Amino acid sequence: MLIRTKAEIPSSEITPRETYMNRRAFMARAATAGVVASVAAVAGGGISRLMRPRDVEAAEKLNVVGSPLSLTGEAPTSFEDITHYNNFYEFGVDKGDPARYAGTLKTRPWAVQVEGLVKQKKTFDIDALMKLKQMEERVYRFRCVEGWSMVIPWAGYSLSEFIKACDPLPGANYVQFISLADSKTEKLPFDAGISWPYSEGLRMDEAMHPLTLLTFGLYGEVLPNQDGAPVRLIVPWKYGFKSAKSIVKVKFVKSQPETTWSVMSPGEYGFYSNVNPNRDHPRWSQKTERVIGAPIYAQRKPTLMFNGYGDQVASLYAGMDLKKNY
C-alpha cells in the first residue's frame, strides 16, 4: 500500500487553521447530536440524527434509524475529512484524488450481480437493494492500515440480510466483493500498482456477523462518490482496505479468494487483516493511530485489538494465531 510517513505529508494536506476551528465547533455540535441520537435510538429511531454541515451542498437523504451497535461518546470525524481524505485508488493515489476526480463515477444505473455458490444467480438493482431492509445509522470506528483513524456515521443494514436474500449454498465458505473497474468513468491509474478490479473477501461467519455493514450512506445521506458510492462494505474490526467500495459483484466461493492487497504484497497484507496492535506491519508499528481531525494533543492514541470490537468478534478467531493469520 502506498504509505507516507508523517514527515512526508505535504503542507497541502495540513488542515488550514480556519477549517480546523470550524471543525472543532462542528465536532462539539456532533458530540451533542450523538447524545440525542442514543435517545432517538432507544425511542425506536427516526431519520438520521447526525447531520453534516449546512454549507455543503445537500445530497439525497436516507431514512435511517438508530442502532444499538453504534458507538456512543466518541465525536464523529467531520464530513469534510471523511470526504477529502480517502483511499480510492481507481481515482488516484493521493488522499485528495478521490474527492477531486470521483465526480466522473456514474452511480445510476447500477446493479450488483450475485454469482458462484448460490441457488440461483441474481442481479440486484441498486434502488431495490437500498430498500431491501430498514437502514440504520451505525457510528463506527474506522482504522486504516496506514495508521490513521476516523469515527464515521455510516448508513446501511447488516450484510447478513443481503446474504440471506442471495440464498448461498452450504458449500459457500467465503464471500468475495468485486468493485467497478470502468476505464470510461474511472482513471484506473497504472501507478496504483493494482490489478483491477479491486476485490476483497470475508469468511462466511465474518460476513454474517451483525457488525458487517452493507453501506449506502454517511451522515444520513447517500455516499459521496469518493467514499464508495453507491454501495460499499464496512467491516469495523478490520483494516479499512477490507471494506471494498463501489461493489458490482458478490461471489460466493468454497475456498479463500484472492484479494487485491494480499496478492500484491502478501507479507504485508494478509487475508484476515484484523486490526491488531500486536502484529506490526513489516515497515511500521500498528500500536498507535493518528486520529484525523483531533486536536494536536489527542492526535495519537493507542490502537485497540479488533479496533475496540473484541467483545463482539474475538470469538470468531478462537484458537487462531492472529500473528500468523494477519
Name the residues that contact ligand MTE, by CB under 6 A.
86-90, 144, 179, 198, 227-228, 240-241, 243-246
C-alpha dihedral (153, 49, 214, 225), degrees to nearest 10: -70
Spatial CA neighbour of 145 closest among 256, 263, 285: 285
Taking the least distance from each CB to ligand MTE, the nearer of 207 and 244 is 244
Question: What is the identity of the amino acid at 67?
Answer: S
CB atoms < 10 A from the CB of 184, how many? 6
The CB-of-115 to ligand MTE minimum distance in angstroms stands at 19
CB of 39 to ligand MTE, least distance (A): 28
Tally of CA atoms within 13 A in the half-sphere of 65 that contains its CB: 11
Q: What is the DSSP string of 53-95?
A: -TTSPP--B--EE--TTS--SSPPPPHHHHHHS---GGG-SST
Residue 3 or 39: the one with the smaller Cβ distance to ligand MTE is 3
Q: Which is nearer to ligand MTE, 117 or 129 (CB)?
A: 129
- The distance of closest approach from Cβ of residue 44 to ligand MTE in the complex, given in angstroms and rounded to an integer, is 29
Residue with smaller CB distance to ligand MTE, 162 or 241: 241
By C-beta, is 144 or 166 nearer to ligand MTE? 144
The minimum distance between CB 240 and ligand MTE, in angstroms, equals 3
Quote the least distance from Cβ 249 to ligand MTE, whole Å: 12
- Residue 250 Cβ vs ligand MTE, minimum distance, rounded to whole Å: 14
C-alpha–C-alpha distance, residues 120 and 116, integer Å: 9
- The SS3 of residue 52 is coil
Residues 44, 65 contacting (CB under 8 angstroms): yes
Find the shortest distance in angstroms from Cβ 64 to ligand MTE.
18
Distances (CA, A) of 210 to 125, 154, 236: 23, 14, 11
CB-CB contact of 89 with 146 (8 Å):
no
Amino acid (1-letter code) at residue 31: A
Instruction: Please identify, using beta-carbon distances, which residue of 40 and 243 lies nearer to ligand MTE.
Output: 243
Q: Which is nearer to ligand MTE, 155 or 244 (CB)?
A: 244
